[in-house]
């Protein structure tokens, strides 16, 4: 009862491919369109597409890379503390153990890009990784001193100091 249109495959694999790449069958004629643009509009088009690409990459980096200043670290710590139920000290330990290798890989990536292409803009990611390492070191020191509650990421953590008092305060 189901007849596929000419040139259309209605198999499950075709549906998966169409979901992964929705523009695969579309005839966008992108290069002909770009070739017909003037030089100024081609530059503006390149800036617009570059800006969109940069925003997507920065969003993915910010959310999915769990290094402290990024939102990925906040998602990791709050997820561990509130959904899994680990202690703030354990969440801090996991954060440091995840941040240090990620920062090391980012530094290596920045140095590799600088050595291979001479692109000094790639070193900005290396500087961000160094900043993440310094923040991880601060978190490590606060964890060892049992002062995690003073850090903004662990503000909901309780203090390990106990106050004694009598009936009058």
The torsion region of residue 112 among left (phi > 0), alpha (psi -120 to 50) and beta comes to alpha
Q: Which residue has the tokens 């993440």?
A: 132
Burial annotation 103-117 (CB, 10 A radius, 16+ → b, else e): beebbeebeebeeee
52 to 32, 86, 105, 113, 164: CA distances (angstroms): 21, 38, 25, 22, 57
Question: What number of CA atoms fall less than 13 Å from residue 169's CA on the CB side?
Answer: 0
Q: What angle do CA 152, 157, 158 make, to 5 degrees?
A: 130
Report the pLDDT value the prediction gives residue 133, as an integer from 0 to 100. 94
7 to 2, 19, 30, 73, 162: CA distances (angstroms): 14, 17, 22, 47, 74
Report the pLDDT value the prediction gives residue 150, as an integer from 0 to 100. 87
Report the pLDDT value the prediction gives residue 34, as an integer from 0 to 100. 55
Report the pLDDT value the prediction gives residue 140, as an integer from 0 to 100. 94
Report the pLDDT value the prediction gives residue 159, as an integer from 0 to 100. 47
Rounded to the nearest 10°, the torsion over CA 43, 44, 50, 52 is -170
Low-confidence ranges of the chain (pLDDT < 50): 1-2, 159-161
d(CA 82, CA 12): 39
Report the pLDDT value the prediction gives residue 76, as an integer from 0 to 100. 92
Report the pLDDT value the prediction gives residue 99, as an integer from 0 to 100. 94
């Amino acid at each position: 009862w189901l007849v596929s249109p000419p040139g259309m495959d209605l198999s499950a694999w075709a549906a998966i491919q169409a979901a992964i790449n929705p523009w695969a069958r579309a005839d966008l004629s992108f290069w002909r369109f770009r070739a017909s643009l003037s030089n100024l509009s081609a530059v503006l088009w390149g800036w617009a597409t570059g800006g969109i690409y940069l925003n997507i990459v920065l969003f993915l980096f910010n959310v999915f890379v769990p290094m402290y200043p990024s939102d990925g670290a906040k998602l990791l710590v709050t997820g561990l503390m509130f959904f899994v139920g680990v202690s703030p000290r354990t969440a801090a330990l996991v954060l440091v153990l995840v941040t240090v290798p990620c920062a090391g890989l980012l530094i290596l990536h920045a140095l590799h890009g600088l050595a291979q292409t001479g692109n000094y803009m790639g070193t900005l990611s290396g500087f961000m990784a160094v900043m993440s390492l310094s923040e991880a070191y601060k978190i490590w020191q606060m964890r060892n001193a049992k002062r995690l509650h003073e850090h903004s990421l662990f503000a909901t953590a309780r203090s390990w100091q106990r106050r004694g008092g009598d009936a009058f305060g």
